[in-house]
Amino acid sequence: MSRNHIHLPSETELRAKALESLLVEKGLVKPATLDAIIETYQNQVGPRNGAHLVALAWADADFRQRLLADASAAAAEIGCFGRQGEHLQALENTPVAHNLVVCTLCSCYPWTVLGLPPAWYKSAPYRSRAVSEPRAVLAEFGTEVSEEVEIRVWDSTSEMRYLVLPMRPPGTDGWSAEQLSRLVTRNAMIGVEQALLPGQLTS
């Protein structure tokens, strides 16, 4: 049985509270600083940034080239830069190669374009299995990749940060980047799913 990550032991809640009071009392941390950090990752930095980037790459061949050549620079063009995005590389899915990103040692993840990682990405089941049975992992996300397609699993062991550039779905000719971005899920940019098809949009 795997532990889920929403379990809330009251002991932990108390420890967190105790540490915060102590840090504030000792003048080591300012409460407004904690709020600013939370606000940044709760509301400002998140996977819509990456979706915008992917949609631009689908809509604009020049931007796609720039993204594949230097993803940090391309992301900076749309205002995405900073911590955990200093060395960004885009991984292009093609009809012959499917990319999947994991961090087996901790939880390395491209914050500037995807925000903070989902709980499952940080969990022992994903971290242990993505590098040993990726097709089984993909199947758990409902993703079938044909046997002829090479699966490439990227273990984020350094400060390089990987963003999957999914394949543009069929039936989207003439769509604007804004329309296209709605097809780009966070999970597609980690590589556990494909981008949505137009018919899968809910609204």
Partner 1 sequence: MRGGHDLGGRQGFGPIRPEPESAEPVFHSEWERRVFAMTLATGMLGQWNIDQSRHARERQHPADYLAQTYYENWLAGTEKLLLEAGLLSAEELEQAMARAGEHQASRDGQGARAVSKREMRIPGPDDARKILRSGGPASRESSSPPRFAPGEQVLLRRKLTSGHTRAPAYAQGCSGWIRACLGGHVFPDANSAGEAIAHHLYSVCFDSHALWGADAESFTVLIDLWEPYLEAFDAESDRCG
Q: Segment 155-184, which members bind partner 1 (CB under 8 A)?
A: 155-160
Q: Which of 21, 106, 128, 176 is catalytic?
A: 106
Site for partner 1 contains 191 (CB under 8 A): no
Contacts of 46 (CB under 8 A, 6+ apart): 114, 115
Q: Which of 21, 72, 80, 107 is catalytic?
A: 107
Distance CA(186)–CA(193), nearest Å, equals 9
Site for partner 1 contains 144 (CB under 8 A): no
Nearest to partner 1 of 112, 181 (CB atom): 112
The one among 69, 105, 197, 201 contacting partner 1 by CB under 8 A: 105
Site for partner 1 contains 61 (CB under 8 A): no
Site for partner 1 contains 77 (CB under 8 A): no
> What b/e string do you get for 174-202 counting C-beta neighbours within 10 Å, with b at 16 or more?
ebebeebbbbbbbbbbbbbbbbbeeeeee
Say how many residues touch partner 1, by CB under 8 A: 88
Pairing of strands 87-92, 160-165: parallel
Q: Which of 72, 108, 156, 181 is catalytic?
A: 108
Contacts of 109 (CB under 8 A, 6+ apart): 84, 101, 103, 116, 117, 121, 156, 161
CB 174 to partner 1: min, Å = 27
CB 133 to partner 1: min, Å = 6
108 in active site? yes
Residues for the chain: how many in total? 203
Site for partner 1 contains 40 (CB under 8 A): yes
103 in active site? yes
80 in active site? no
Sign of the torsion angle spanned by Cα atoms 126, 127, 128, 132: positive
Q: Which of residues 107-136 bind partner 1 (CB under 8 A)?
A: 107, 112, 115-116, 118-120, 122-129, 131-136
Site for partner 1 contains 65 (CB under 8 A): no
Alpha helix segments (H runs only) across 40-182: 47-59, 61-69, 71-77, 111-114, 124-129, 134-140, 177-181
Nearest to partner 1 of 59, 88 (CB atom): 88
Site for partner 1 contains 76 (CB under 8 A): no
Question: Do 92 and 163 meet the contact criterion of CB atoms below 8 Å apart?
Answer: no
Residues labelled catalytic: 103, 106-108
